[in-house]
Amino acid sequence: MYTTLISCRQLMEAPAESLIVLDCRFQLDNPDYGHAAYEQGHIPGAHYLHLDYHLSGSKNGQNGRHPLPDGQRLAVDLGALGVGENTQVVAYDDGTGQYAARAWWLLRWLGHDKAAVLDGGFAAWKAAGGAVDAEPPQRRPAASPSAARCRRRWTPARCKPIWMKKHSRWWTPAARNASAAWARR
């Protein structure tokens, strides 16, 4: 189990069936950069998480640029990607690690200890000869412990329109607004 950093070699040797990789690339001055970079190439099997849509909550004008997301919503989203109790999660970005570290921190905040940041990020992965893929990954939905605690409010029927999209763009601003409307019911 890796709980802080994981090397490229360790990630290459990790068993894929118990591993979820999160691509967290982002640029504050170009919010579309991360998803475009992800579509150009990413670590095989990686899921893209956007800072504004996945790793932050809704802004109300008084809570900052990237407020914490709703814990229940985040737990359900991560469970939809396959994050479960025994899943090792590895986050990476292509900068100084700040966006991957945010994903790592949020996972720890939810109580998921098996979370690590890829040491050196995407650049180190490519330099180590790691494979790069442009295909969206297959999802393996799992009931994470955090999601199980939130089940009364977030049932699969309520979440299905958001996370059962055809490809990696499983969360859009429109879906986020719909999700917020469901939460107010």
Is the sign of the CA dihedral 68, 92, 22, 171 positive or negative? positive
Q: What is the mean pLDDT of the chain?
A: 81
Encode 147-167: b = buried (16+ Cβ within 10 Å), e = exposed: beebeeebeeeebeebbeeee
Q: pLDDT in tens for each of the 185 residues of the chain?
A: 999 999 999 999 999 989 999 999 999 999 999 999 999 999 999 999 999 989 998 877 787 778 889 889 899 999 999 999 899 999 999 989 999 999 999 999 999 999 999 999 999 999 999 999 999 998 878 754 444 444 333 344 444 333 333 333 444 444 444 444 444 44
